[in-house]
Structure 1
């Protein structure tokens, strides 16, 4: 690939990404006005451990944005966890026909 995103490191800063996407002349304005809007629509978040945003995910975001790739939904939390359910005694568990008898 010879596009500007392929020249970036695995994790790039916001200004590096902006320059790769819209060019140096418009990078500061794009970063200031569009980045928070894009994040709300699924643009990859800043990874503080690596000091930047993951460039492969940014490429995938734009591929989906332009209809070049299928969108992938990552699994997230599906609700509150009931940790007490894991520690119930056997006598309090609901009886089913598949229950193992002691």
Structure 2
């Protein structure tokens, strides 16, 4: 069972709070120093100056897109009408060979 640490953060969280929730306490300082600047170039939410933190819902949405969760399941979509006659022919041929 996994715990969603982002859901336990305030609406606007510090980089340190986000880092602990996303990569864990051991890697948090490295993530803040090196990863956040790279992610900001890819659209990671900026710090809101009024709230002095990053909006957690937007951070979550960023990661959903980043890891492909919001890309959908197009790969699993049907590619057309199924031709069951092919399957039935193979099945009949296998039964004939087994007899």
Please classify the TM superposition score into its range, dividing by the shorter chain length: 0.5 to 0.7
Match of 2:77?
Answer: none
How many residues end up aligned between the 2 structures? 70
Match of 1:30?
Answer: 31
Q: Please say which structure displays the higher CA radius of gyration.
A: 2
Match of 1:67?
Answer: 68
Task: Determine the C-alpha separation between the residues in 2 that align with 1:12 and 1:62.
Answer: 15
Structure 1 runs of 4+ with >2 Å offset? none
In the alignment, structure 2 segments of 5+ residues that lack a partner are 72-99
Query: Could you say what the CA RMSD is over the residues aligned between the two structures, in angstroms?
Result: 1.4
Give TM-score scaled by structure 1 length.
Answer: 0.65
Match of 2:44?
Answer: 43
Match of 2:81?
Answer: none
In the alignment, structure 1 segments of 5+ residues that lack a partner are 71-102
Task: Determine the C-alpha separation between the residues in 2 that align with 1:51 and 1:31.
Answer: 15
Match of 1:56?
Answer: 57
Counting helix residues as a fraction of each chain, which structure ranks higher? 2
Give TM-score scaled by structure 2 length.
Answer: 0.67
User: What do residues 18-73 of structure 1 show as CA deviations (whole Å, max 9, x unaligned)?
Assistant: 00000011100111111100000000000010110000000000000111115xxx
